[in-house]
Amino acid sequence: MIHRKKISEVLIENDLDIIVASSPQNVFYLSGLESLTQRLLGQKAFAIWQNDLLNPILVLPAVDASIIVDTNVPYNSVYTYGDFFLYEGTELSPSDRAVQKIKNENNFENPTLALLSAINSIPLTSGTIAIEKSGFSFSEIDELTRGLTFNTVDAENLLSELRQIKNKNEVKRLKKAVEINQNAIEKAITTVELGMTEQALAKCYESELIFQGAYPLFTAIGFGSHGAYPHAVPGARALERGDLIRFDVGCTYANYSSDIARTFSFGEPEPALQKKYEVLNGSMDRGIDLLCDGVSTDVIFNSVVDYVNEHGSKLFPKFNRNHVGHGIGIDVYDRPTISPGMGILKSGMVLCIEPPYYELGTAGIQVEDEVHITPKGVKRFSHCDPTLLVL
Tell me the average pLDDT of the chain.
95
Residue 111 to residue 130: CA distance in whole angstroms: 17
Residues 276-325 have pLDDT tens digits of 999 999 999 999 999 999 999 999 999 999 999 999 999 998 899 999 99
User: CA–CA separation, 161 vs 130, rounded Å?
Assistant: 14
Handedness of CA 25, 42, 16, 50 (dihedral sign): negative
Determine the 3-state secondary structure of 312 from DSSP.
coil
The full set of domains in the chain, from first to last, is 4-163 (3.40.350.10), 168-390 (3.90.230.10)
pLDDT digits over 9-47, tens only? Answer: 999 999 999 999 999 999 999 999 999 899 889 899 999
User: Edge-to-edge, what's the strand order for the sheet holding 57-61?
Assistant: 107-108, 77-81, 57-61, 46-50, 18-21, 128-131, 151-154
Write down the pLDDT at residue 88.
86
Looking at residue 18, its amino acid is I
Q: What's the CA gap between 263 and 201, in Å, rounded?
A: 14
The reported pLDDT for the residue numbered 107 is 95
Chain segment 113-149, per-residue pLDDT in tens: 999 999 999 988 878 999 999 888 888 888 888 888 8
> 192-227 as b/e, with b when 16 or more CB fall inside 10 Å?
beeebbbebbbebbbebbeebebebbebbbbbbbbb
Per DSSP, the three-state class of 239 is coil
| Identity of the residue numbered 389 | L
Q: How many CA atoms lie within 13 A of 229 on its CB side?
A: 13
Q: What is the mean pLDDT of residues 260-277?
A: 97
Q: Cβ contacts of residue 74 below 8 Å, gap of 6+? A: 32, 54, 55, 56
- Predicted pLDDT at 1: 62
